[in-house]
Chains A and B, each alone.
Chain A
């Protein structure tokens, strides 16, 4: 190896340090800038009326976004109800029964593929499955789409969390004469419950901001989500899309910002809260 002058080595090192600093400031600066913009444009429109009255076509007074917020809440909770039981079961299978078998490997690979799948394709799939066959856009179709996005994430998190439970715990439970089912549910899953809750909450927060799969499943409506199973249902992310890309009016843009602020707050609060809970438990 030819010797390199110390000066260049040190200079290169300083350049690396500088670049690293620059990169982290880009990342954090970008985040700060986005949040600042959302706050700046979003806070002026926030009011009690904004949060409690339904959306209306442009020009009508007293418009809010309450129906979209309620729609998002319903769809997200519905998706959680649909996705969590099979996802937990699947995660238990991978961690407790399947382990390194060929079948478990295939299923794990499928789950990875599903996780990496562009969410708009899930929208296409649910459209073909539920909307094309019934001829109706509905909030329920949107719920199913969100559930499909949640499912692989929770399944893999469950597996990871269960694998972190030490084997001695399993063995002692079985040695006490418990059945495999009881040992899994009341010992293994129980000791991993914080991790499981975190995984579920984080994926809930993530799908609550998903837009693409709702564009042609739940669509959008200016009404309260009354016909959840048979009518188009409003949701916050789709409202933002509609109000900002399809509307030239300043006031609608402002409402879009307001909705974005509510969503961002919701998601950040869940994220920070889970971190806090999980963190506290570790000590």
Chain B
């Protein structure tokens, strides 16, 4: 090998190694800086729900639950929508498909802070004045068992809260999920699809029995991608969640997520509080890692079963 090639290869390797270095660096830094909190509170930090800077007592439970609830709501709302959008984009004729695809891609390009602003000034009043009273009074959901959990004790809502955050997140992750799903649906061999149509299947049946089965891995990885984004999204949630350091009391109650707590408190925090915030960051990091590893595990396992080498 030519000598310049060896040098070139080394430089390239160094660039690529930066990925490993950064990943390890972030993990190590968060561990080091959160060690004080872990020593102080022990593992019970995970299920303690206090947050009192005056007493220097901190717990992670409300933040973890809030993160899981907003993510769950966002997925619940966006999965069916993303699936249908992806389906429509695959089946639509070319002249319609291309502009629609580009619009959906542009939706992904809007910065999250603009989503947040829109949520704060448009969606919050809408939820407060129309959606919540509609669910509560017109549909009378509050009288059903569990209704008070859904809609709050006294049926009053400020418009802020988990459901509002979930709606915004759903809108944000929708383009990501549908882009992945669309690419997978396109890979369904046309022969398979057309033979199903040829047998007289309706579009619903082709979708359910052929396209969805063939593309199940893509659907699931699309969902994982959306979930990863929803977990760590900060700004859009921060604007509409209400920032209350309490465990979720209902869909319309205010609360917080890990990312929102970090954004709100980190710049002013010192000492043990800062360490506790780093610990929250570590928890979020592990959640995000866990998702990635799970996705990869799922893809390799199903890949092996299908005889693909992935």
Chain A residues with CB under 8 Å of chain B are 9-10, 12-13, 15-17, 19-24, 26-28, 30-31, 33-35, 37-38, 41, 85-94, 96-98, 104, 106-107, 109-114, 116-125, 127-129, 132, 148, 151-152, 155, 179-181, 184, 202, 205-206, 208-212, 215-216, 219, 237, 240-241, 244-245, 253, 256-257, 260, 263-264, 267-268, 271-272, 275
Contacts and interface: CB of A to CB of B under 8 A. Distances in A.
B43 interface: no
B112 A211 contact: yes
Contacts of B103: 27-28, 31
A151 to B, nearest CB: 7
A244 B30 contact: no
Nearest to B201: A9
Contacts of B231: 118
A253 to B, nearest CB: 7
Contacts of A93: 9, 12-13, 15-16
A147 to B, nearest CB: 10
A27 B108 CA distance: 11
Contacts of A118: 231-234, 259, 284-285, 288
B289 interface: yes
B110 A31 contact: yes
A4 B269 CA distance: 64
Contacts of A41: 121
13 contacts: A13-B205, A19-B84, A20-B85, A28-B103, A109-B292, A117-B285, A117-B288, A118-B231, A123-B262, A181-B4, A211-B235, A212-B234, A215-B263
A10 B203 CA distance: 9
Majority DSSP secondary structure for residues of B touching A: helix
Contacts of A240: 113-114, 117
Given A97-B9, A124-B30, A31 B107 contact: yes
A34 to B, nearest CB: 5
A209 B111 contact: yes
Contact of B5 (A91, A179, A206): A179
B225 interface: yes
Majority DSSP secondary structure for residues of A touching B: helix
Contacts of A155: 15-16, 19
Contacts, number: 268
A50 B18 CA distance: 41
Contact of A20 (B87, B111, B122): B87
A168 to B, nearest CB: 20
Contact of B88 (A21, A113, A179, A271): A21
A241 B235 contact: yes
Contacts of B285: 117-118, 121
Contacts of A23: 80-85, 88
Contacts of B32: 128
Q: Which 3 A-B pairs have the closest CB atoms?
A: A118-B232, A209-B111, A89-B15
Which among B11, B87, B110 has the greatest number of chain A C-beta atoms within 10 A? B110
B73 interface: no
Contacts of A148: 22
Given A16-B87, A120-B234, A121-B284, 11 more contacts: A24-B85, A27-B85, A86-B18, A89-B15, A93-B12, A113-B289, A120-B259, A180-B1, A205-B109, A211-B111, A241-B235
Nearest to A256: B117
A166 to B, nearest CB: 21
Interface stretch (B49-57, B148-156, B170-178): B170-178
Given A116-B225, A125-B29, A85 B15 contact: yes
A240 B238 CA distance: 13
Which among B2, B13, B89 has the greatest number of chain A C-beta atoms within 10 A? B13
B228 A116 contact: yes
A125 B22 CA distance: 9
Contacts of A12: 202, 204
A3 to B, nearest CB: 12
Interface of B: 1-2, 4-5, 8-9, 11-20, 22-23, 25-26, 29-30, 32-33, 80-85, 87-89, 100, 102-107, 109-118, 120-122, 171, 174-175, 178, 202-205, 207, 225, 228-229, 231-235, 238-239, 259, 262-263, 266-267, 278, 281, 284-285, 288-289, 291-292, 296
A244 B5 contact: no
B218 to A, nearest CB: 16
A26 B8 CA distance: 50
Given A112-B292, A257-B117, A89 B16 contact: yes
A241 B120 CA distance: 11
Nearest to A19: B84
Contacts of B25: 125, 129
Given A34-B118, A124-B266, A237 B107 contact: no
Given A19-B84, A107-B20, A275-B102, A33 B122 contact: yes
Contact of A114 (B19, B234, B235): B19
A113 B266 contact: no
B204 A107 contact: no
Contact of B121 (A37, A206, A272): A37
Contact of A16 (B81, B105, B207, B232): B207
